[in-house]
Amino acid sequence: MSDMLSAAFITVFITTVIAQAMPLMLASVGETIGEQAGVLNLGIEGVMLVGAYAGFVVTLSTGNFWIGMLAGVVGGVVANLAMLVLNVWLGLNQIVIGLAITLIGEGITSVLYLQNYTKSPASLGQAPKLAIPGLGDIPVVGPAIFQQSGIFWVALLIALVLAFALARTNWGLSTRSAGQKPSSLDAAGGSVMRTRSIAVLLGGGLAGLGGAYLSLITTATFSPLLTNGLGFIAIVITMLSRGRIIIVMITSLIYGLAVAIGPALQVIGFTIPADLIKMLPFLIVIVMLILFARSSVVPPALGSAYTRGAR
Amino acid sequence: MNETSTAQRFAQGFVRSVVPVLLALIVSGLIMLAIGSSPLEFFAGVWKYGITGTNWQRSLSLMAPLLIVAIGLIVAFRGQLWNLGYNGQYLLGAVTASGLGPILFDVLPAFLATIVIFVVAVLVGAVWSLIPAILKARYGTNEIITSLVMSFIAVGVVNLLIKGIFKDPAVSTPQTAVIGDDYLLPFIPGTEIHIGFVVAIALAIVAQYVLSRTSFGLRVDIFGASPKAARHVGLNSTWMVILLFALSSGLIALAGSVDILGQFAYQRADWDPRYGDAVMPLVFLARFRPVAAIPFVAFYAVLATGGTLASQQAGLNVDFLLVIVGLILLFMTITEYLGNRRQLGQSYLPAGLRRTVLQPFRKESERTSA
């Protein structure tokens, strides 16, 4: 048991928690903004995969992780364009389009990966670390938190800025009213369509960024169906967090803990089947849903497209 | 006035069901060109491996599980319950057959053992759906999310079972013991199509009758159209949710056990055919009518049977089928939209879902100033 308390062990543990939590956090923040604006995006799983694949390919060819992350964002936005055009603009069914995006995203990234990389599976190696002077030298916590890649800090900053913006700015108010009562937003002179369009594009970009974080930093490679349901966990976390991004961030950390505990227990001698470890996040999610089912609140206009003048 | 004859309505419905499929095939061909594969080679391969020779028999065998999954989805979707946990429910049914089969066939007569396996599979599927159903009925928790999460848990449980108590100790790869040929579902005489195909067709006809000609079917439709209206006419909506979910999930699990006893005879860990993903768009195209689903399922069975080999030949892989299925979904909504604009008549989507499908924004010039 002394192993469990060794500095190196705890450092690895914290690093794993963060690496697992970040992709989910980014995707959930994106989904939160979409849901607050009234767009339930079931395509997030596919969007994340497109972002992950785009980031992987670009990083592999340029060698630059920052450009790879950017490619992930672009990939996510492009994948979500289908939702933008078909749902927000034309008002077609969100659930069907979302599932279509997920299926196409899964299929196309898997086909492309196996076509191009199956003969020589590529690993990206480690993203360059950014050691923060002073803080990075703290034992245990320093190497775990303050020697992360700069991408970690940028991602964290994006989430915090959006948390503030959604809760405290005019933009946030418009976004939330587009999900609560679109007709009020319309009456107040705002554009429901423009507000939702921005939310959908932002959501796509963040899901793509989350996917890229997963392939570039968490796993340092791509494989078919890499996300393995992470997009759906993001939707659950969004539902349970009731639109508060700070809660989204905390819940994502809890998810990271749940995922990191499995390998950690294995290190200290418990053997846990890999399938159980994969299942654990979903078990936690279903328990949370059972316990907090009553409090999972979604915006009233979620899922319905807005038609001016309709009842 | 939109008065049309039955024949015209049928023709319109036919056009609106077939157009999305054609568009999806054309666009998937363009995607193949874009990524450097030959669509001609792919579709020729689908024809060759899906239909010619005795391959059509393999396609019909694949129809058995697909059609039963379709019926399961239709039962839930008719009541406006979006059971998307089909992958897990299917695998639970499959593992019931592949796990209990080797044990039961030793102690019971084959016929009895088969019946027991089917019944247990249905029960396992039904019980698995209780959590999403109760959460939906009591708290209105979105069943799409809960059933999906339960599906991921089921996949894990099934893998644990296959690597654990159901593992065949004689083989090093994690898989269940192979069920002897004598115990598998018999073939239709003169073919190599197992009788699961007949069972599936019979189930489709029964389901069609029950849903469209009995008071139960009417209740399901009333419940689907409006749970509030259903309460007013004395329907217990809690029980309706639980019953429909159990029926749906039980049927999908049955499909899994039929597939094992008819086709595979054993089950490997991490095997997940994801039939439900493919079938879901098809039941929309069939407008939730079990018998109407038969031709669509037949089409997909050929595509999947032939496409597995054809996609490898064309330098793709099987996951390309997911792209085609996703495209069918997309073109379905687009055809629906264009069809509604042109008043072509019937809709794929039931009223409840259609509430969320809106008309386009009117042009600026048409706005009435208040």
Query: Is A310 an 8 Å CB contact of chain B?
Result: yes
**Which H, E and C letters describe chain B, residue by residue?**
CCCCCHHHHHHHHHHHHHHHHHHHHHHHHHHHHHCCCCHHHHHHHHHHHHCCCCHHHHHHHHHHHHHHHHHHHHHHHHCCCCCCCHHHHHHHHHHHHHHHHHHHHHHCCHHHHHHHHHHHHHHHHHHHCHHHHHHHHHHCCCHHHHHHHHHHHHHHHHHHHHHCCCECCCCCCCEECCCCHHHCCCECCCCCCECHHHHHHHHHHHHHHHHHHCHHHHHHHHHHHCHHHHHHCCCCHHHHHHHHHHHHHHHHHHHHHHHHHHHHCCCECCCCCCHHHHHHHHHHHCCCCHHHHHHHHHHHHHHHHHHHHHHHHCCCCCCHHHHHHHHHHHHHHHHHHHHHHCCCCCCCCCHHHHCCCCCCCCCHHHCCCC
The pLDDT tens digits of the residues spanning A151-183 come to 899 999 999 999 999 999 999 999 999 988 888
CB contact under 8 A, A283 and B357: no
What is residue B143's predicted lDDT score, i.e. its pLDDT? 87
Q: Which is higher by pLDDT, B335 or A27? A: A27
Nearest to A107 among B323, B337, B353 (CB): B323
Q: Which residues contact A118 (CB under 8 A, 6 or more apart)?
A: none
Asked if A297 has any chain B CB less than 8 Å from its own CB, the reply is: no
How many CB pairs below 8 A link A and B? 162
Return d(Cα B215, Cα B209) in angstroms, integer: 11
pLDDT value for A4: 53
Residue B356: name the closest of A75, A90, A7 by CA.
A90
Count CA within 13 A, CB hemisphere, residue A213.
Answer: 26
Return the residue matching tokens 């785009």.
A54
Highest mean pLDDT among A245-249, B7-11, B226-230, B242-246: B242-246
Mark yes or no for CB contact A92/B323 under 8 Å.
no
**A168-197 residues touching B, CB cutoff 8 A:** 193
What pLDDT, on a 0 to 100 scale, did the predictor assign at position B369? 37
Mean of the per-residue pLDDT values for chain B?
87
* Of B113 and B287, the one with more pLDDT: B113
Residue B185 lies in a domain: yes
Q: How far, CA to CA in Å, does B299 sit from each of A7, A46, A109?
A: 60, 25, 25
**Percent of residues, chain B, with pLDDT higher than 90:** 64
What is chain A's mean pLDDT, rounded? 86
User: 72-111 in A: which are within 8 Å (CB) of B?
Assistant: 82, 86, 89-97, 99-104, 106-108, 110-111
Beta bridge partner(s), residue A149: A129
Provide the pLDDT for residue A173.
92
Lowest mean pLDDT among A1-10, A66-75, B201-210, B287-296: A1-10
Q: CA of B149 to nearest chain A CA: how many angstroms apart?
A: 6
- Cα separation, A87 vs A95, whole angstroms: 10
Instruction: Tell me the C-alpha to C-alpha distance, in Å, between residue A42 and each of A13, A210, A251, B70.
Output: 31, 15, 20, 21
What does the pLDDT read at residue B356?
Answer: 43
- Check residue A222 and report its DSSP letter: -
Q: What is the pLDDT of residue B366?
A: 39
| Tens digits of residue pLDDT in B116-161 | 999 999 999 999 999 999 999 988 888 888 998 999 999 999 999 9
Total domains present in chain B: 1
- What is the token pair recorded at B186? 């018999």
In sequence order, the 6+-apart residues with CB closer than 8 A to the CB of B35 are: A111, A112, A115, B316
User: Per-residue pLDDT averaged across B22-33, rounded?
Assistant: 94
Residue B87 has pLDDT above 50, yes or no: yes
Whether A104 sits inside 8 A of B322 (CB atoms) is yes
Residue B358 resides in a domain: no
> Using CB atoms, which residue from A107, A290, A298 is nearest to B322?
A107
In this predicted structure, what is the pLDDT of residue A295? 63
ipTM of the complex: 0.87
To the nearest whole Å, the CA of B301 is away from the closest chain A CA by: 18
**Is A92 in contact with B160 (Cβ distance < 8 A)?**
no
Q: Which residues pair with B188 in a beta bridge?
A: none
Contact assignment for B358 to A310 by CB distance below 8 Å: yes
- Provide the pLDDT confidence category of residue B359 given band limits of 50, 70 and 90: very low
C-beta atoms of B319 and A101 within 8 A: no
Chain B neighbors of A46, CB-CB under 8 A: 326
Distance CA B133, CA B150 (A): 11
pLDDT in tens, A226-252: 988 899 889 888 888 888 899 999 989
Residue ranges, chain A, pLDDT below 50:
1-2
Q: Residues B142, B143, B144, B149: what is their CA dihedral angle, to the nearest 10 degrees?
A: 110
What is the predicted pLDDT for the residue at A271?
78
Domain A2-121+146-295 has CATH 1.10.3470.10: yes
pLDDT at B355: 45
B273 belongs to a structural domain: yes
How far out from the chain centre does Cα B27 lie? Answer: 23
SS3 A129: strand
Give the pLDDT confidence score for residue B301 in this predicted structure.
Answer: 95
Q: Which domain holds residue B85?
A: 63-287
The answer to whether the CB atoms of A273 and B141 lie below 8 A apart is no
Q: Using the predicted structure, report yes or no on whether residue B343 has a pLDDT greater than 50.
A: yes
